[in-house]
């Protein structure tokens, strides 16, 4: 278990880390242009896995690095790349991660953004280590006028990639939908990862009220707004694209220490335990849920024994107040059962519909409760969007 990533909450972490990474390769993010990729290609910026360092690894172009690293510039200008978000949406913050780039990190950065209806065709195929943009690629990208895009982050000094200084968190206040970003580095150097934290923004006017939609999906604007434990994996992973690649691509908690020394079950075979874990998610659009999928893919010796799902309707102010109080408040939501307690299996897609799903009417939030602990890789909540006078919150307070 020593190599498994452990996610720790600290009071110094910015609030936007609770949101989704809209640029991650697993969400469909991709680099469509880069001025130079001599030591390491820009596509590494969007990897889901944490950066690694291999002291003995070299290529014919120099030291192998797990990130984007340009050559030492000997011509006018600076380096930059353009990233197409996998999920267009509202950006709340960035993590410019310089891990392991200590004597070769980019000293400064700035970030610009645009919402493009149409995009010229760009292809950066294969391993581009040792390469730079060609004159024809520069000519094609000039059509975007990216140097005039909206500035989200002004020129900002970065810190070197030591463990205590590698995460450069940059807060953003920009209430408009973004499809592409331009990452500038000055004048050259390396960055290990770029994470673009935000909330997907779907055009719901194109969706019929009769369409069955996964209302909590990342691509449809779903977002995690609270949880009890995320030791091995954040709940936001559950609303990602497709099925999970591994346990690391799901929500997983620690083993609860209040479990009875000798476990017992009830008449339905469900473990009788005093504690549970929970995750709260806001739907991308208010709706009526009629079909549920709880997927424990890859969780074979650590799946939850059982789960249930509750729902409620919250206004923006109610949600913000509950988040500020870590969902512990005298005025807790009036949770209603959507899915009664269900026994779960290892490494299995559990589908619930018909009489299994309680008709709760229009809802805005759900709470997945697992007992006693364990991991869930994906949660799908299919339903029909409904008109609602509620306005979904645009900003969320720190967890």
Cα angle 178, 200, 285 (rounded to 5 degrees) comes to: 135
Taking the CA of residue 184 as centre, how many other CA atoms within 13 Å lie in the half-sphere pointing to its CB? 22
Backbone angles phi, psi at 363, to 5 degrees: -135, 160
Q: Please name the helix (run of DSSP H) or strand (run of DSSP E) that holds residue 137, with its range, or none.
A: helix 135-141
For residue 333, the model assigns a pLDDT of: 85
Predicted confidence at residue 11, as pLDDT, reads: 52
Pick the closest to residue 196 from 184, 178, 220, 214 (CA basis): 178
* Cα 98–chain centre separation: 19
Calpha distance 264→331 (Å, rounded): 34
Full pLDDT tens readout for the chain, 399 residues: 333 343 445 557 898 998 999 999 999 999 999 999 999 999 999 999 999 999 999 999 999 999 999 999 999 999 999 999 999 999 999 999 999 999 999 999 999 999 998 877 777 778 899 999 999 999 999 999 999 999 999 999 999 999 999 999 999 999 999 999 999 999 999 999 999 999 999 989 888 888 899 999 999 999 999 999 999 999 999 999 999 999 999 999 999 999 999 999 999 999 999 999 999 999 999 999 999 999 999 999 999 999 999 999 999 999 999 988 889 867 778 899 999 999 999 999 999 999 999 999 999 999 999 999 999 999 999 999 998 654 344 444 343
Q: What is the pTM of this model?
A: 0.88
- Cis-peptide, bond into residue 221, ω within 30° of zero: no
- Alpha carbon distance 31, 34 (integer Å): 7
pLDDT in tens, 334-388: 899 999 999 999 999 999 999 999 999 999 999 999 999 999 999 999 999 998 6
State the chain's maximal CA–CA distance in angstroms: 75
Buried b (16+ CB within 10 A) or exposed e, 22-35: bbbbbbebbbbbbb
Q: Is-contact 162 49, C-beta < 8 A?
A: no
**Joined tokens for residue 247:** 């346990």
How would you write 384-396 as a 3-class SS string? EECCCCCCCCCCC
- In order of their start, the domains of the chain are 15-200 (2.60.120.260), 204-390 (2.60.120.260)
CB 258 within 8 A of CB 277: no
3-state secondary structure at position 236 = helix
Residue given tokens 């424990």 in the structure block = 296
Helix (H) or strand (E) holding 114: strand 108-114
The model's pLDDT over 266-314, given as tens digits with 9 standing for 90+, comes to 999 999 999 999 999 999 999 999 999 999 999 999 999 999 999 999 9
The residues facing 384 across adjacent strands are 288
């Amino acid at each position: 278990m020593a190599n498994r990533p452990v996610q720790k909450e600290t009071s110094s972490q910015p609030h936007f880390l609770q949101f989704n990474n809209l640029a991650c390769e697993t969400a469909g993010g991709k680099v469509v242009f880069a001025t130079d990729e001599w030591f390491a290609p820009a596509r590494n910026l969007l990897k889901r896995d944490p950066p690694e360092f291999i002291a003995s690894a070299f290529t014919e172009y120099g030291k192998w690095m797990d990130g984007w690293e340009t050559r030492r510039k000997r011509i006018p200008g600076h380096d930059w790349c353009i990233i197409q978000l996998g999920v267009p949406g509202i950006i709340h913050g960035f993590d410019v991660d310089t891990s392991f780039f200590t004597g070769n990190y980019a000293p400064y950065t700035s970030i610009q953004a645009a919402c493009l209806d149409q995009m010229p065709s760009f292809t950066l195929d294969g391993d581009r280590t040792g390469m730079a943009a060609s004159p024809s690629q520069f000519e094609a990208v000039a059509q975007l006028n990216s140097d005039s895009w909206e500035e989200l982050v002004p020129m900002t000094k970065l810190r070197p990639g030591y463990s205590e200084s590698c995460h450069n968190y940059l807060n953003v206040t920009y209430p408009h939908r973004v499809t592409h970003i331009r990452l500038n580095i000055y004048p050259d150097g390396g960055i290990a990862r770029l994470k673009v934290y935000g909330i997907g923004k779907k055009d719901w006017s194109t969706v019929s009220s009769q369409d069955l939609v996964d209302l909590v999906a990342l691509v449809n604007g779903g977002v995690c707004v609270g949880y009890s434990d995320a030791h091995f994996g954040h709940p936001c992973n559950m609303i990602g694209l497709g099925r999970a690649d591994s346990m690391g691509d799901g929500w997983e908690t620690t083993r609860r220490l209040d479990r009875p020394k000798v476990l017992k079950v009830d008449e339905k075979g469900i473990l009788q335990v005093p504690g549970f874990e929970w995750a709260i998610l806001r739907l991308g659009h208010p709706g009526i849920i009629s079909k549920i999928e709880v997927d424990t893919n890859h969780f074979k010796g650590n799946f939850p024994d059982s789960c249930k799902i509750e729902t409620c309707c919250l206004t923006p102010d109610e949600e913000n107040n509950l988040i500020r109080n870590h969902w512990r408040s005298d005025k807790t939501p009036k949770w209603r059962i959507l899915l009664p307690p269900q026994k779960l299996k290892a490494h299995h897609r559990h589908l619930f519909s018909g009489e299994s799903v309680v008709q709760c009417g229009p809802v805005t939030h759900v709470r997945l409760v697992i007992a006693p602990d364990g991991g869930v890789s994906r949660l799908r909540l299919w339903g029909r969007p409904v008109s609602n006078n509620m306005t979904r919150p645009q900003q969320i307070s720190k967890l």
